[in-house]
Amino acid sequence: MTRDPEILCKKLGLHFNNMQLFKMALTHRSMGAHNNERLEFLGDSILGFVVAEKLHKMFPEASEGVLSRLRASLVNQGALADLARKLNIGDYLILGSGELKSGGFRRDSILSDAVEAIIGALFKDQGIEICRQWVLDMLQDKLDSLSLDNWQKDPKTQLQELMQSKKLDLPDYTLITMSGLPHEQTFKVKCTIPLSDKSCIGSGVSRKKAEQDAAEQMLALLKREQS
């Protein structure tokens, strides 16, 4: 049974004047003609614009090619699907019976499309300023961890090199939970750093992705403390 979309709306920190727009954003094409594809089309363009604008301000010396690759690292299908999983959007998707049976609520393409559709719906409901702020809030940790020196390196490598530069032991990654069916598992991993009580818990569809997520959160936390 699909959960009440209004619950998700509150969890996302959103308030819609027209709640039907938000429900439409969660409705997959397997439900028929009234689905989220048009909102996804709109949200995809808005997301690209908002991220491009932010990166343009963050890295005034970066070339067009570097900015394009930075943007792609934030708005690709896998990154958006991971964001959807963190926000538990899959639990609220409105899917046809076939997609429900095949586990469509866990599929990267469906999850990422739903994120973009929510962005499109928010734009139509409240305009670009509210939409921009919500997008940037959702991507804050990823944006905080970006730099021109390390953007090509994965978060675990970046965190390892940071610890080595401080002559500290390497970060520790501990598997906390592993849940779900064998082909639909979710992993949670805790990342801790030496000589500190700080820890971050990441999640993903594999242990490796969960570790990368935890490392990315730790990098963002350390960067905020230094700023």
What is the tens place of the pLDDT at every residue in 4-47?
A: 899 999 999 999 999 999 999 999 999 999 999 999 999 999 99
**The pLDDT value given to residue 42:** 97
Q: Which of 44, 141, 211, 213 is catalytic?
A: 44
pLDDT of residue 124 exceeding 80, the answer is yes
- Catalytic: which of 37, 53, 61, 116? 116
Task: Give the pLDDT band (50/70/90) at residue 106.
Answer: confident
Binding-site residues from annotation = 40, 113, 116
Cα–Cα distance list, 162 to 114, 169, 209, 216, 224 (Å): 35, 10, 20, 12, 15
Output the pLDDT for position 226: 74
CA distance linking residue 5 with residue 11, whole number of Å:
10
pLDDT score at 101: 78
| pTM (predicted TM-score) | 0.72
Domain residue ranges of the chain, discontinuous segments joined by +: 5-139, 155-226
Percentage, residues of the chain above pLDDT 70: 97
Q: What is the 3-state secondary structure (H, E, C) of 168-226?
A: CCCCEEEEEEEECCCCCCEEEEEEECCCCCCEEEEEECCHHHHHHHHHHHHHHHHHHHH
Please say if 216 is a catalytic residue: no
pLDDT for the residue 138: 94
pLDDT in tens, 154-207: 889 889 888 888 888 899 999 999 987 776 788 999 999 987 788 999 998 889
Question: What class does CATH assign to 5-139?
Answer: mainly alpha
Residue 44: active-site member: yes
CATH code for the domain defined by 155-226:
3.30.160.20
